[in-house]
């Protein structure tokens, strides 16, 4: 088992390195670029690694804590919360004539929106003072729907050019309008979050038991749940800041790694972070090297197109295996 885990992690590291190399040479022209373009590609590469790792680790944490393999940052409404935050900020800036809000990089409101929806899910997904796995998912779906409707409402009130811009933002893509400081902050935070999650791997294993049983073997579940939910929320918010809403990465990566290296959460966290990073960087390299209708495809469309079928395939194969 240990040998298998090492093999899987090593393979994923190699895949990630190769994909990163591809990202650096892929673009409007294939090949090693000049300094200016190299800096742009390096920034997108770093963003991509952070986005993928953050979403995937967030997915692992949520699935473990809610004991629900369908949990993911997006099902819990974080993405729609972030989306709503962004469009609301643009609308407020537009209405009040405050340029500093209207044209600001949208990461502040995205963060507030993601955290607000997490707060709502957290506040209303509890039963008798306890976070309840089913309750969280249900409330997440409802919060997601409400924020989605709010987003559509606000879009409706904006002028056409703003609406078109925001609609593109909501398709998800690796933003190029982020300074190295912001990218560095989020990448650093993601690395830190991944380390914390890895360190807590055995606790997540323990949480695989029922609540009472987990507590009886010493897993500090009542403390662990809120702390790790917050960590998952922060990771997702970071990814949304860099990319807008990108679906399926947080759902798919933990599933694939679980199939490869087993259920242990130490290897699951590390493997998912690597796979998520490779997935986003690879997808970004791909969308950067060809044009659709004269332009680049938003990466969010790409991940959903690839991720959806993979998810259904995993679901089917697990059903066939009878688990």
Partner 1 sequence: MTRLRFDNVSASYGRGEVLCGVTCSLHAGAITAIVGPNGSGKTTLFRTVVAPRGAGVRRTGGAVLLDGEPVEQLATRRRVARIAYIPQRPSVAGAFTVQAIVELGRYALRDNAQAVRQAVRRAGLLGMERLIYGELSVGEQQRVTLARALTQIHGGEADAVVLADEPTSAMDIRHEVSAMAVFRELSQAGVAVGLVVHDLQRARRWADRAVLLDAGRVVAEGEADDILTPQRLGPVFGVHFVDDSLAEPVADAQT
Partner 2 sequence: MGVQLSLQRHPSPVGYDGGIMRLWLPVLLILAPLAITSVSCERSAPEPSTDAPRIVALSPAIARMLADLGLEDHIVGRHQWDMVLPADVPKVGDQTEIDYELLIELEPTDVLLQYGERPIPARLRTLAAEYGWHIRSFDIDTIDDVQAVVKVLPQYLSFPDTQAGRAHGEQTAARADALAEALVDHLQPRDAVRQAGRILLLFAVDPPTAFGPETFLAQVVTRLGGANAQTVGDYPQLSLEDVINLDPDTIVIVRSADESTPIELLAGPVGRLNIRAVRSGRITALRHPLALLPSTSLLEVADELEARLAELHEADEVAP
The binding site for partner 1 (CB under 8 A) comprises 1, 64, 67-69, 127-130, 202-203, 205-206, 208-213, 215-222, 258, 262-264, 323
Nearest approach, Cβ of 57 to partner 1 (angstroms)?
16
State the burial class of residue 196 (Cβ atoms within 10 Å of its Cβ: 0-12, 13-18, 19+): middle
Reported as type and span, the H/E element at residue 170 is none
CA nearest neighbour of 175 among 109, 241, 236? 241
Q: How far apart are the first and last CA of the chain?
A: 20
- To partner 1, the closest distance from the beta carbon of 205 in angstroms equals 7
CB 137 → partner 2: shortest distance, Å? 9
Q: Would you tell me which residues interact with partner 2 (CB under 8 A)?
A: 27-29, 33, 36-37, 40-41, 67-70, 91, 95, 97, 99-100, 103, 105, 120, 124-128, 132-135, 138-139, 142-143, 146, 150, 153-154, 156-157, 159-161, 164-165, 168-169, 173, 175-177, 210-211, 288, 291, 293-298, 315, 318-319, 323
Closest to partner 1 by CB, 23 or 225: 225
State the binding partner of 13 from partner 1, partner 2, none, CB within 5 to 8 A by kind.
none
- CA-CA distance, 275 to 9, in Å (whole number)? 9
Cβ of residue 103: shortest distance to partner 2, in angstroms?
A: 4
Kindly tell me which of 161 and 218 has the beta carbon lying closer to partner 2: 161
Which of residues 180 and 199 has its CB atom nearest to partner 2 in the complex?
A: 180
Residue with tokens 């679901």: 315
Q: Tell me the CB-side half-sphere exposure of residue 306, using CA atoms within 13 A.
A: 16
Closest CA to 173 of 104, 279, 245, 103: 245
Measured CA to CA, the distance from residue 13 to residue 190 in angstroms comes to: 17
Q: Is the CB of 264 or the CB of 300 nearer to partner 1?
A: 264
Q: Which tokens belong to 14? A: 């190699």
């Amino acid at each position: 088992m240990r040998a298998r885990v090492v093999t899987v992690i090593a393979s994923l590291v190699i895949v990630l390195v190769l994909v990163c190399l591809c990202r650096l040479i892929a673009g409007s022209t294939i090949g090693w670029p000049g300094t200016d373009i190299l800096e742009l590609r390096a920034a997108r590469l770093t963003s991509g690694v952070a986005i993928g790792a953050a979403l995937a680790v967030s997915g692992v944490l949520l699935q473990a804590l809610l004991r629900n393999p369908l949990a993911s940052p997006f099902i819990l409404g974080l993405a729609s919360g972030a989306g709503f935050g962004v469009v609301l900020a643009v609308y407020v800036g537009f209405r009040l004539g405050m340029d500093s809000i209207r044209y600001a990089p949208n990461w502040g409101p995205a963060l507030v929106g993601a955290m607000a929806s997490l707060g709502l899910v957290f506040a209303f997904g509890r039963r008798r003072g306890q976070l309840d796995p089913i309750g969280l998912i249900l409330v997440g779906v409802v919060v997601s729907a409400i924020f989605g409707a709010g987003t559509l409402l606000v879009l409706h009130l904006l002028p056409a050019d703003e609406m078109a811009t925001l609609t593109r933002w909501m398709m998800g893509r690796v933003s190029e309008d982020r300074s190295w400081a912001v990218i560095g902050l989020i990448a650093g935070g993601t690395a830190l979050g991944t380390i914390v999650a890895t360190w807590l791997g055995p606790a997540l294993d323990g949480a695989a038991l029922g609540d009472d049983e987990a507590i009886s073997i010493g897993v500090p579940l009542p403390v662990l749940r809120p702390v790790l939910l917050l960590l998952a929320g922060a990771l997702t918010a970071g990814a949304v800041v860099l990319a807008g809403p990108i679906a399926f990465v947080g759902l798919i990566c933990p599933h694939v790694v679980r199939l490869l290296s087993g259920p242990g959460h130490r290897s699951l966290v590390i493997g998912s972070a690597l796979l998520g990073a490779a997935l986003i960087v690879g997808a970004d390299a791909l969308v950067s090297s060809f044009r659709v209708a004269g332009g680049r495809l938003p990466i969010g469309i790409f991940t959903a197109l690839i991720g959806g079928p993979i998810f259904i395939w995993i679901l089917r194969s697990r059903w066939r295996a009878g688990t």
